[in-house]
Structure 1
Amino acid sequence: MNERTAPYPFIARGASAELFDMGGGQVLKLFRDSVSDEMVAREANASVHAAACGVPTAAAVGRQGRDGRRGIIYPRLEGGTLMDWIRRNPMRAGWALNQMGKIHAAMHRSDGGNLRSLKQVLATDIAYGPAPESLQRAAIAYLEALPDSDALTHGDFHLGNVMMTPQGMMVIDWSKAAAGHPAADAVRSEMLMRFGIGPADWVTNLWRDWAARRLRRSHAAASAVSVRDIDAWRPVVALAWLRARDAPGRTPAFMRYLDGALKQARLPVTR
């Protein structure tokens, strides 16, 4: 389906779905065939749970299929992503990242309800990733020994999944949500900010590294997550990310990041 054959006016598209204006203050998010039924259901359920916990977000209001495609109905959020807002307001980037970190920390003070276990997600991604078997076994044993938690974690918390609206910042896209340790989710955001898909020129990389540090500090200031917690979770979160990593932009930098984390945890490095 494309804009010309869409059931409603087209708004935007992402890697996994397209968004259409249903009118009446609602939008329809139609998923691509490659997205699993489990992920669609998780996104809808997690958005409702997060909203009930007080997280600023748009909670799913229903499910609707269209032309064989699965969809979720959401309230329409006016505005754009926080990334777009920062591009227009670069001098306020620090403030925006501070607010984003506070939202992330507040999210983690809620429980994950019936969401899947983040530890199990990480273990599965490590086991089915490209790392050598000896490293996989050592990393999973290390993961199992880490303290567990049932905090609400987003799993994809970055500048593209926070909207700047007239009501303030709103978190979107709960498809990777889980119940787990806040430090693991903070590490995931650090990685997304530094190594996610996007420009990889040296100036942008410097900005991304700065933004990741700013977000991490603002989250730490508003939470009980310590530097030690972050260091402890970094090797397994980074190793798990290898399973789906296909963006070449910052691969050398990411591999240095991963190997540094593995060394600190006294785990075998990848090379």
Structure 2
Amino acid sequence: MKPAAISPQVQGFFDPATWTVTYVVHNGPGSACAIVDPVLDYDPKAGRTSHGSADKVVAFVRANDLKVEWILETHAHADHLSAAPYVKSQLGGRIAIGSHITDVQKVFKGIFNLEPDFRLDGSQFDHLFQDNEVFQVGDLSGEILYVPGHTPACVAYRIGDAVFVGDTLFMPDVGTARCDFPGGDAKTLYASTRRLLSLPPETRLFMCHDYPPVDREVAFETTVAEQRAHNIHVHDGVSEEAFVAMRTRRDATLEMPVLILPSVQINIRAGQLPPAEENGIAYAKIPLNVL
């Protein structure tokens, strides 16, 4: 399936605390929309959540009289908590992610020793997308591209001429995502990047994050042509062998993301907090000496 070559309107909201971009994809005021990767604010020092970032998205949707049909997660993020349940409570819509989230749930249920009745079937989400599945955002047609490697569950959302790539690719001068999380694989990521870079050259690519060099401003939109010409990790001519060697060396030098421990155990629940304990308080677990 190839979505019609329509150019949806895309509004990005950059969260400087986590370097994350949330997107609203729509076809003009009064139309249906999808929200991609909404951010829940989290203070790791106090263990407190808030909704300032998500409220900016909510305000934009309401100001433009948009109807939310989908709240789309590209993967179970390790660098921020998802605001999907809060956005749904304010605006409606269905929370969706790729079907391989079940693989991630199985790994992390063990790491976090989650409650026995934590389900491993992805049913915390309203919908699980299969590779190449077609979906609609009002008059806009979309398609699922399964792009694992960073995690086993990563998907990209192709809506018209816009593709929301998650962490698979970064801006050309930043490169690609790490592959050393549980279930990650550099060879698999290389194949996923080539799938994305085989799309038409003019296809717009929207990053989930930007970590800009000191000499440029934050940016999060590029094209297939720009990535193929200039991506420092996977430009045309880079072999799988060279990429895997580079990625393996680089990943060995990286620290874990600051918010990986609270983020993953909440994001595999579709953004819901863990069940409250007898005192009415929900707790995020910190497994010691595991990651």
TM-score normalized by structure 1? Answer: 0.30
More helix by share: 1
More strand by share: 2
